[in-house]
Amino acid sequence: MKNTGKPGSHTILNFEDHTGSDTPLAEWAGDFLDAAPVLILDVEGLNFDSQLIGELINLHRSFTSAWEDQPHRLALVNLTEFSNMVFDQVKLSHIIHRYKSVSEAVADLV
């Protein structure tokens, strides 16, 4: 897993590093949940399903617990058209932000 974010300001994790792993997403990202108040997850090429939506909700809960009573943001970048459609259907945009690119997310959130 590669954190390409600026220490203390934001963390960027590439979901491709998690692909094929049996480790739950929140556990996989666990070492980085309290590293910075902005967590950006690059999900390029990934098509969301119900299991991954559940994993994202658990990741959001863990991230929120790590930053309780402090401003924090979780964002996804590089979603496929299908994943954007699924995300719209489950109505998670109010808790997990979406951006077209890492640079767009960093510019808005950091």
Q: CATH number, domain at 82?
A: 3.30.750.24
Does the residue 77 lie in any domain? yes
pLDDT tens digits, the chain, 110 residues: what are they?
A: 444 545 568 889 988 777 677 888 888 888 888 889 999 999 998 888 888 899 899 999 999 999 988 899 999 999 999 999 988 899 888 889 999 999 999 999 98
pLDDT of residue 97: 94
In a domain, 84, yes or no: yes
Would residue 2 count as lying in a domain?
no
In a domain, 61, yes or no: yes
Query: What pLDDT was estimated at residue 7?
Result: 55
Length of the chain: 110
Residue 110 lies in a domain: no
Place of tokens 């996989």: 28
Q: Which long-range contacts (CB under 8 A, 24 or more apart) does 102-108 make?
A: 102/12, 102/40, 102/42, 102/77, 102/78, 104/77, 105/40, 105/75, 105/77, 106/10, 106/12, 106/40
Q: How many domains are contained in the chain?
A: 1
Query: Does residue 41 lie within any of the structural domains?
Result: yes
pTM to 2 decimals? 0.87
Structural domain that includes position 83: 11-104
Q: Is residue 109 part of a domain?
A: no
**What residues pair up with 73 in beta bridges, in sequence order?**
38
